[in-house]
A and B are shown apart, each in its own frame.
Chain A
Amino acid sequence: MTTARLVTSVFTITEFELRKVFHDPSQIFIRAIQPLLWLVVFGEVFAKVRVLPTTSYSYLQFLTPGVLAQSVIFMAIFFGITLVWERDLGLLHKLLSTPAPRYSIIIGKTFAAGVRSIFQAILVFVLALIIRVQLNMDPISILGVLFVIVLSGMCFSSLSIFLASLLKTRERMMGIGQAITMPLFFASSAIYPIDLMPDWLKIVARVNPLSYVVDALRALLVTGDFSHLPTDLGVLVLAVVILVGLATLSFRRIID
């Protein structure tokens, strides 16, 4: 009974978040602009200068998984703003007055953010095809990529909900989002190999969940070397569990 209700609540929340996307699909295309710029402008230029040692792969092959991860995470990190907005309007109070358990609301919302990221992945795939980046496109790799992407969407959107319940205003959320996206991105293996970093930055990159996301995506899409994959997925799942837990615990503060 309880489990069935939990599942119903989670999927209901997810379903309606996605319905909103379908009512206004333009947001998906607008979100494609940034990854497009990274691939076409940054990627093409850096591929020309050949300063980054990316072993046997082209720089664009190296970069594409990084840009994919980045586009998913940049979207998820601002997810908390939506919640603050819904709190300000009154939607959240009504949602919390239903018998749906609190954690099912958090899991549903973060899962929706994860599933939304799939649209993002599809767009980056299409872009990569257009500019002729060689990627592994077999069904197993694609499914693996989608799985990793949903998990990373959940990971960073629950982090965002956690931050939103502490910061409570949209302005602060915009600020913190801006403040943490760039360090997350640059202190990861998204645009250059970790080996190039100074030692202190390597340590940061090792605890940065984005590094594991990028590593998993790169293994699936480019190298086909799955030796790190269990670690990558393990870290990611652990991060999701911890962050969803934290978000659920801190969530009630958002309405006080």
Chain B
Amino acid sequence: MIEVKNLTKRFGPYTAVDDVSFQVGKGEIFGLLGPNGAGKTTTIRCLLTLIKPTSGEARISGIDVLRNPQQVRQLCGYVPQDVSVDGDLTGYENLLLYAKLYYVPSAVRKKRIQEALEFMELTDRANSLVKTYSGGMMRRLEIGQVLVNQPQVLFLDEPSIGLDPVAKRVIWDYVIRLRDEFDTTILLTTHDMLEADELCDRIAIMNLGKIAVTGSPEQLKAGLGGDVVSVSTSEADCGTVLRQLGYQLLSQSGDGVCDLVVTHGDQEIPRILEELKHHGIMTKSVSLKQATLDDVFLQYAGKRIGDSETDWRSTRMMRRTLRRLGQ
């Protein structure tokens, strides 16, 4: 459904997207996972013909994005990460506006809008001004807006950003139902590993404009080669010692905490403790956990992904508040 080949986008000297290639099959939920500034949104905007790539090519359903932008836009739906419903219009009007702009035939327009409202469970608030909606409701309406077009390909930019955990789950359920009921191909971006893990069939880990690795969440986690053991010791450079002992270090902080990747964590822990003791290092605590996508990201990008999360949340909250206050 989506084919991207050597896509590059430069803004002046800054390369936002650097030689990116990937493919998404029909009915697949594909995630671009990466931190702020990784080039995820720019990639989406290139595919949606909002900006012109510097080089490379992309096709959606076999249609060239550069040659037939209008046709591509007719097939797609886009939910940007920022607030994209108009607070000064009612929920129904917001849907009607997009039904008309997507040239939904007037005979089926009403039905499509009703269906979108029902699917997103907004029917009872359809005639209220959107500035009175909660954040979760706005997000649902934003998705509802593109559903009136029954898109073959749906682009979701950070679908659950700024929502509380309950509202997040609700959005995830809708996304999965969309794929299951309509066989929609979904490309989403996220910096939330849990979201990527729960929603996506396959993900591409993106960092500094490049795709580091592509695969299903299970494959990627298995690719780490086992469990993650976290040891906290009194010695600041316990990492050096552990590396000399032949362990694979995932990360090491200056305060004596190290994350190791080992094949069978439960069996390995006693040996690790023994070795550390042998080198005169006191162990304060040890924990064993299943590998997460965050650990995978750490391995490919050399840092954790969640660092900028609060900024994102506050940005969206601020924008939503502004929107609600009216112009």
Query: Which residues of A does B touch, CB under 8 Å?
Result: 5, 8-9, 12-13, 16, 19-20, 23-24, 82, 85, 88-91, 93-101, 255-256
Question: What chain A residues lie within 8 Å of B97 (beta carbons)?
Answer: 12, 16
Q: Which of B97-123 contact A (CB under 8 A)?
A: 97-98, 100-103
Bound together, the chains give a CA A89 to CA B325 distance in angstroms of 13
Instruction: Collect the chain B residues with CB atoms within 8 Å of residue A9's CB.
Output: 100-101
Contact A99 B322, beta carbon cutoff 8 Å: no
- Please tell me if the beta carbons of A20 and B86 are within 8 angstroms of each other in the complex: yes
Q: How far is the CB of A151 from chain B (nearest CB, A)?
A: 25
Which among B48, B79, B84, B155 is the interface contact of A89 at CB below 8 angstroms?
B84
Cα-based distance from A19 to B97 in the complex (angstroms): 11
Q: Does B129 contact A (CB under 8 A)?
A: yes
A141 to B103, CA, bound (A): 38
In the complex, the answer to whether B86 meets A90 with C-beta atoms within 8 Å is no
**Which residue on chain A has the smallest CB distance to residue B87?**
A89
Query: In angstroms, how far is the closest chain A Cβ from the Cβ of B15?
Result: 15
Contacts of A8 in B (CB 8 A): 100, 103
- Closest CB of chain A to B269's CB: distance in Å? 48
Q: Tell yes or no: B323 within 8 A of A by CB.
A: yes
Which chain B positions have C-beta within 8 A of A82?
Answer: 327
**B89:A94 contact, CB within 8 angstroms:** no
Q: Which chain A positions have C-beta within 8 A of B70?
A: 99, 101
> Does B93 sit at the interface, judged by CB under 8 A?
yes
Q: Name the distance in Å between A10's Cβ and chain B's nearest Cβ.
A: 11
Q: Which of A94, A99, A100, A256 contacts B80 (CB 8 A)?
A: A94
- CA–CA, A95 to B128, complex, Å? 21
Contact A20/B319 with A12-B97, A98-B98 known, Cβ cut-off 8 Å: no
**A-facing mask of B219-253, CB < 8 A → 1, else 0?**
00000000000000000000000000000000000
Given contacts A12-B97, A89-B82, contact A97 B88 (CB under 8 A): no
Report A198 CB to chain B, min CB distance, Å: 41
Chain B residues near A88 (CB, 8 Å)? 82, 319
Judged by a CB distance under 8 angstroms, whether B301 is at the interface is no
Contacts beyond the supplied A9-B100, A88-B82: 6 A-B pairs with Cβ under 8 Å: A19-B93, A23-B90, A82-B327, A89-B83, A90-B82, A255-B50
| B189 at interface by CB-CB < 8 Å | no
Partner of B323, one of A24, A89, A94: A89
Q: Which residues of chain A are near B145, meaning CB under 8 Å?
A: 94
10 A-B pairs closest in CB distance: A90-B82, A97-B78, A94-B84, A12-B100, A98-B101, A99-B74, A90-B80, A20-B88, A99-B73, A90-B84
A90 contact from B11, B71, B83, Cβ within 8 A: B83
Chosen A-B contacts, 27 in total, with CB atoms closer than 8 Å, are A8-B100, A8-B103, A9-B100, A12-B100, A12-B101, A16-B86, A16-B93, A19-B89, A19-B93, A20-B86, A24-B326, A89-B84, A90-B84, A91-B85, A93-B45, A93-B82, A94-B78, A94-B80, A94-B84, A97-B50, A97-B73, A97-B76, A97-B78, A98-B101, A99-B71, A99-B74, A99-B102
